[in-house]
Amino acid sequence: MLEIQERFDTAGYERIIERAGDALVHITEAIDKGQSIGFIAYSYGAEETTVYDYSDSGELMLCDGLVRSVMFKSALKGIGRLVFDLEDKEKEVPLRKLKFLNEGSNVCEDIDSYMNGCQNCKSNQK
């Protein structure tokens, strides 16, 4: 069974941590049968959450679940937007398919609108 859970150590994620500078980076992993099959690395700010990297094993629905898990945590903290500061700009493609990002932008402006269901999931798996 797939579980999305926060990891409380950062071993193996040193490059991401270094790239994030002074930010306190959190890691959430997707675990299936005891093995990590994906992750998302992010930090909270006062106004926005910054996503530094993610891995979804090429699975669009896993990407959706990882991003939504960070959105949910951000919403609970009263944070309304996500900034995707991804080194690999190709990773923005699935985020656009899932309608988290608009063309030419790396910011998801309204987290609350995404927390009301998965309206876009099935129609964007092209």
Q: Which residue has the tokens 């699975």?
A: 59
pLDDT tens digit at each of 126 positions of the chain: 889 999 999 899 999 999 999 999 999 999 999 999 999 999 999 999 999 999 999 999 999 999 999 999 999 999 999 999 999 999 999 999 999 999 999 999 888 877 765 445 445 544
Strand blocks (E) in 1-110: 2-7, 26-32, 35-44, 48-55, 81-84, 107-108
Contact of 67 with 79, CB cutoff 8 Å: no
Show the domains of the chain with their CATH numbers: 2-124 (3.40.630.30)
